[in-house]
Structure 1
Amino acid sequence: MEMITIPAGEVTLSDRRTERSWTVGIASFLLAPVPVTASETSRFPRVDVSWLDAIRFCNALSEREGLTPAYEVDEDVKWDVAANGFRLPSEAEWEHACRAGTTGPRYGPLDEVAWYRENSAESVHEVGGKAPNAWGLHDMLGNVWEWCWDVYDAEVYGEYRVLRGGGWFDEHWSCRASVRRRSHPTFRVDDVGFRLARTL
């Protein structure tokens, strides 16, 4: 499976709701150039997938490839940060990879890099159809929202997890590198998918 090496760096995350920002250091890691597709022969992203579905997919693929699964799934899900198996990116990793060294809201003109409400005909599109960012990653903005590992805000939203990137049904303002969305880990909908990462 093709994976792109994302260089180490630092990213400042922000939350509009709480008006809070925080800086996170990022170690180099691997990230897939496109979201996971519906099958090995399909170019359409896998959607209607919950956070828990994505976690289980990562573990199953890791076992198939002879890698150490990243997650222990019991009543709670625990991440073995030393495991070499497939996993979801952290929220900080996702934004660092999306920005690819840029500092603006997007890594290119929106119509060139993303499927969103104004150009998607209100439907999902094949992955890789828009221009990549400087690190070779496609669809980081638009097409489907992507699950990240992180809890959004445990004090307010409990176990809700972070979604990033915007989707085919979203307005332009949702398709920005800094936008955060949240949902329950069992939530499934037709504009949410995920992308694979691995620890180096």
Structure 2
Amino acid sequence: MTRDSSKDWQVFISCKVSDGKGGYTRDWHLAKELYELLEANSIKVFMSSISLGQLGESDYKQVIEEALEQAQVMVVVGTSKENINSEYVKYEWNSFHNEIISGIKKGGRVFAFVETLRIHELPRPLRNNQSFYVSERSSLVSFVISALGLDSTNLTPKSESEQKKIATSTGHDSISLQQKTESELAIKSITSRNGDELIYVEGGVFIMGDTWGDGFDKEKPPHEVELTYDFYIGKCPVTFDEYDRFCREIETEEPSDSGLGRGRKPVMWVSWFDAIEYCNWLSEKEGLPISYSGDGSLLDRNKQETEDITKVKGYRLLTEAEWEYSARGGKKSMGYKYAGSNSPDLVAWYDSNSGRMIHEVGQKKCNELGLYDMSGNVWEWCCDCYDSEYYSRSPSINPYNSTDGSSRVKRGGSWLDYALCVRVAFRLDDTPDYKYFDFGFRIARTVF
């Protein structure tokens, strides 16, 4: 069956085709299996060695460029560094990646599909959550479906005979064409001595900032960030239950709840300095070195001032980059605008659904990492000093803005705010001694 060359392609599969001996590479065979799986889910897939023959086009360069422009998802298939970096393959994934970075291809996604290649061996733009091993083929299909904004339950599958043919060609007894729209969460966690539950997050590479092109100047430019270390992050914001125990132990006044209730609701009326004092208390409670000096400077395990977050061993606030990476879902990111969904009502308490009050943590849908309330409920203090133009000069590896400033970053929005404020890219600030009835925080720890 010949396709209409003007038809919009949804997915572009890139791989090295020839093995140089007149045959196909292992990459091509893996790519073909994936092609057939995606086609079975009624997804329009461009794979040059197959699609060009179907189209019967002679100007193959123009057709490839059009397919690169039309596709919203690229899958790069590779069994070696050499193949992934071969001339045409690199051109394809690099062109696609640059269009995402520049904002031309809004919402575009790149996935890597590898066999024995280690993730850290991938080129930097591919070395992040968009990496799947061959054994994770069905999960990759699920992510592609979600990235395209499709409902897997409404996809039109091929006939039963076609499904059997595909299952046989891919070496599986059966593969469900009713793909899941979310990955299954494999969550590792720890619990502090005060009852704070923290989830393990693997470091990775992501695009930070306004990746949708509809944000504010302070969210621009979108830029690539790599976190080279793993860390723990609070599953939820710190609650009144947890913070009140701290207050009773150090014999200080508990913050007001403004008549909205305590217990499992996120603590509010806390300043940035209150938040880091809680972190230091929790570190000492567990025999860890404290993370902050009296003026708020970061301390390493030897209690020496540092700007390197990887050397900070105790409990602390998240860096702004850690916060956004986690809110976006880390290595499991599905590319959502809010933390876990493109619909704020599913994941966030904000002005349109909060009833003008805070709510108990964990009542909305979690994000891809199993984190709750990253969007909405209360603002969350971050470790960094705030600079509206920081993104134009921030380092690409483990960024942390320690430059002295009069304000600190806060993220996530609150029950008082419009939906635009609970986006994962939105940033705001306040002075570190300021308190308000929608200011809270979430804790973190570097993994050693």
TM-score (normalised: structure 1): 0.92
Cα displacement (A) at 1:158: 2.8
1:28 is matched with 230
Q: Specify the structure having the higher radius of gyration (Cα).
A: 2
What's the secondary structure of 1:54's corresponding residue? Answer: helix
1:5 is matched with 200
Residues 9, 120 of structure 1: CA spacing in aligned structure 2 closer, same or farther, 3 A cutoff?
same
Cα displacement (A) at 1:77: 2.2
Residue among 265, 270, 288 paired with 1:49: 270
Residues 64, 186 of structure 1: CA spacing in aligned structure 2 closer, same or farther, 3 A cutoff?
same
Asked if structure 1 preserves the Cα contact closer than 8 Å seen for 2:351 and 2:417, the reply is yes
Matches within 5 A, 1:1-200: 1=191, 2-14=197-209, 16-18=216-218, 19-26=220-227, 27-40=229-242, 42-74=263-295, 76-80=296-300, 81=309, 82-100=311-329, 101-106=333-338, 107-108=340-341, 109-153=343-387, 158-200=405-447
Asked if structure 2 preserves the Cα contact closer than 8 Å seen for 1:150 and 1:161, the reply is yes
Query: What is the alpha-carbon distance in structure 1 between the residues aligned to residue 199 and residue 431 of structure 2?
Result: 29
Query: What is the alpha-carbon distance in structure 1 between the residues aligned to residue 417 and residue 337 of structure 2?
Result: 15
Query: What is the alpha-carbon distance in structure 2 between the residues aligned to residue 154 and residue 20 of structure 1?
Result: 11
Asked if structure 2 preserves the Cα contact closer than 8 Å seen for 1:11 and 1:95, the reply is no
The C-alpha deviation readout for 1:60-104, integer Å capped at 9, x for no partner, is 111012111111224x52343323211001000000000101323
The C-alpha deviation readout for 1:122-178, integer Å capped at 9, x for no partner, is 111111111100111000000001000111118999321101001000011111000
Higher normalized helix content (fraction of residues):
2
Asked if structure 2 preserves the Cα contact closer than 8 Å seen for 1:154 and 1:160, the reply is no
Gaps of 5+ in 1: none
Supply the AA of the counterpart residue of 1:102. Answer: M
Query: What is the alpha-carbon distance in structure 2 between the residues aligned to residue 179 and residue 72 of structure 1?
Result: 28
Residues 173, 99 of structure 1: CA spacing in aligned structure 2 closer, same or farther, 3 A cutoff?
same
Cα displacement (A) at 1:28: 1.4
Higher normalized strand content (fraction of residues):
1
Q: Which has the higher contact order (CA 8 A, sep 6+)?
A: 1
Asked if structure 1 preserves the Cα contact closer than 8 Å seen for 2:208 and 2:325, the reply is no
Query: What is the alpha-carbon distance in structure 2 between the residues aligned to residue 79 and residue 54 of structure 1?
Result: 16
Query: What is the alpha-carbon distance in structure 1 between the residues aligned to residue 292 and residue 405 of structure 2?
Result: 20
What's the secondary structure of 2:217's corresponding residue? Answer: coil
The C-alpha deviation readout for 1:13-53, integer Å capped at 9, x for no partner, is 33723543333211211001000011238201111111111
Aligned length: 199
